[in-house]
Amino acid sequence: MPSSPSTRPTAPPTVWFARGRHAGSAAQDVLRLSLRHLKDSRAIDDFQELPETEGAQDWIFEARWRVAESVTVRARLTVEHDSGSGQQWVLVAEAEAPWDPRWPSPAAMFWPQDPDATWDHEAVAGLRLRDINPLPSDDKAVRRILRDSARDGWSIHVVVHEAMSTDQRGRVPLAGMLPPGLAHRVVEHRAAPSQLRVVNWALRDLDIEVPRGGAVVLPGAPAPTGYGVDDFAVRSVFLDGSEPAELIHAVTRFAALPRPLPDGAEQALTALREDWRLLTLEEELARERKLVAMYAEALEAMTKSRDLYREAAEQAHAALTAYRESAEAAPERQPEAPAATPASPLQQLTRTFERLKGTARPRKATAEEQPETSDQ
């Protein structure tokens, strides 16, 4: 199974997040036109594009709308500059209440919803978010796609096995049957009747198995708390155009699990909360009042610090004055004689020789050394 989510923060229940890739070019122009249309039709309350800073690598858009009549949703979408292979985008939205999957998808509040739009590709393998993605015929490619999908924490990946070849009625995408809030977060993989063995071979390291003619929701990495393969495996899915209620229920339950934030989502959420600029008039007034209160507290702290400094300086000056007065009143002390400087080794040796010289006695002369007397 994938690693434990304990090392990552859990996504707040008020947050919706998604990541994808715009397969065309000039995604920023697509967003500008779509957001203008959505505001004119009152689908959103307002939007703005943040000014680009020098060296910026992304365009940043903010939008605000209301759900359930009174719950405000704030969302921030960043789309990278065109690199020649499409433009990756990240969208994070936060509501004033726990997220309800029946609310509109935040992706629909930014991107156009026409079928030929090219923004709805997931970021890992470029698969479609609103359509069916048949698994490739090459076994190695199947293993690569499923293993990459099993590690994706941004999207919800569902693998459906076709027990037999389906007609047009069985080619209805799951995304269109899900609650609106899940429509742009789910990637549907379809395995042909002959691919069951290779699919389960690719997923065996994760202890995941797709039932014949059924489906399974992949856990992502890290797996959410409470994920169990048996709880999110569906034994049979009837691909006859009818609503797969059991599979929809499994996907909805999975989306409701406490999920760890994937790589990059925490930074995007922090930017949404701390760098938000699309303010209403009331929010601007509240922010100005908050700034005034903050400046008043800072001024009060500075004034208090100044008064404490002045008091400390006065106390120090008084102590210095008292010390000087006591020093002047005390009797003058005679300076002590300086301690004798210890003699150097040469001086000590000289004095020793002088003492030896003064105490030396003359020797007596021997008979041989007596002077001869002359005969008179």
Q: What is the pLDDT of residues 114-148, one digit of tens each?
A: 988 999 999 988 999 999 999 999 999 999 999 99
Select the more confidently predicted residue: 3 or 167: 167
pLDDT at 78 over 90: yes
Q: How far apart are CA 126 and CA 221, in angstroms?
A: 18
Q: How far apart are CA 191 and CA 163, in angstroms?
A: 9
pLDDT at 220 over 50: yes
- Say if 340 falls within a structural domain: no
pTM of this prediction? 0.76
Q: Distance from CA of residue 349 to its chain's centroid?
A: 80
Select the more confidently predicted residue: 373 or 267: 267
- Say if 316 falls within a structural domain: no
Among candidate residues 243, 182, 193, the one with its CA nearest the CA of residue 217: 182
User: Does residue 222 have a cis bond before it (omega within 30 degrees)?
Assistant: yes
- Say if 10 falls within a structural domain: yes
Select the more confidently predicted residue: 178 or 317: 178
The answer to whether the CB of 107 falls within 8 A of the CB of 77 is no
- Say if 292 falls within a structural domain: no
pLDDT given at position 22 = 95
In the structure, what pLDDT confidence band is assigned to residue 180 with cuts at 50, 70 and 90?
A: very high
- Say if 372 falls within a structural domain: no
pLDDT 10s digits, 319-331: 888 888 787 776 6
Single-letter code of the amino acid located at 179: P
- Say if 129 falls within a structural domain: yes
The residues facing 90 across adjacent strands are: 19, 78
pLDDT given at position 352 = 63
* Backbone dihedral angles phi then psi of residue 365, each to the nearest 5 degrees: -80, 140
- Say if 114 falls within a structural domain: yes
Q: Where in the sequence is the domain holding 11, given as residue range(s)?
A: 5-274
pLDDT given at position 287 = 65
In the structure, what pLDDT confidence band is assigned to residue 313 with cuts at 50, 70 and 90?
A: confident
In the structure, what pLDDT confidence band is assigned to residue 367 with cuts at 50, 70 and 90?
A: very low
Rounded mean pLDDT, 342-354:
63
pLDDT 10s digits, 5-32: 457 789 999 999 999 999 988 999 999 9
Domain tally, the chain: 1
pLDDT at 375 over 90: no
- Mean residue pLDDT of the chain comes to 87
Rounded mean pLDDT, 67-73:
95
- Say if 324 falls within a structural domain: no
Select the more confidently predicted residue: 319 or 76: 76
